[in-house]
Amino acid sequence: MDVVKCRVFKLDAFTNQAFKGNPAAVVLDCPELDAEIMLAIAGELNLSETAFVWPEKKGFRVRFFTPGDEIPLCGHATVATFYLLWRLGMAKEGMNKMISKVGELDILIKDKKVWLKQLPPKIIGELNIEELKSILGVKELVGPALAMTTGTPEGIVGIRTFNELMNIKPNMETLAEFSKENGIIGVYVYTLDSKFDAAGRFFAPAVGVPEDPVTGTASGILAGYFFF
């Protein structure tokens, strides 16, 4: 096998403190490798998402991998990627373009912050809330339980209290099967019982991520969920 040299960075998104937020890996200066090799690299780095980046005339083409699969879009890895590109002088202050599996997306860099414009939220279908109760190990959930997307298909359902949210202990094997059967990468459980607008946890064992610390695409879906 030929030796390929790449630069690999680890960044924490959604925070201004080291070792906080949601970590992502960003890989630069690689040729476009086989998907199996990129998946193996993501597995070796063992973060919830790894972004592979290639500069193009229109902007930057990015592919996202969890340790278990390629996914169409990842919010926090996008933030990490474009903050890094800006710090390295590769991306500009203002509007930038990302070419991803879901198409071209606008990325705004302003005042040292990165803003991602996700796709309009879309309902894919309804999920079996009784089955989810059993999988998540809870007595009650707040419906409807929906499969939605703003670029990456995910499930969403509510729970009444913050304490109940923190005590969820999903059956990961069953949740992975449920997710694959319903065409989603995982399930986001939210509550409005929070000092913020909402609190949530995202479980995605179907793509090798038992729990993601913060999920940008799920936050976009949550806004769309309440809009609908």
Beta-carbon neighbour count of residue 55 at 10 Å?
Answer: 13
Instruction: Rounding to the nearest 10 degrees, give the CA dihedral for residues 60, 63, 67, 73.
Output: 100
Enter the tokens of residue 59: 């902007």
Q: Report yes or no: 162 and 194 within 8 Å, Cβ to Cβ.
A: yes
Token pair recorded at residue 104:
């071209």
In 3D, which of 198, 183, 189 has the Cα closest to residue 152? Answer: 183
Coil, helix or strand at residue 108: strand
Annotated catalytic residue, options 32, 44, 49, 126: 49
C-beta of residue 137 within 8 angstroms of C-beta of residue 173: no
Query: What is the rounded distance in angstroms from the CA atom of residue 48 to the CA atom of residue 210?
Result: 9
CA dihedral 37, 213, 105, 181 (to 10 degrees): 70
- Catalytic (active site) residue 154: no
Residues with a known catalytic role: 49
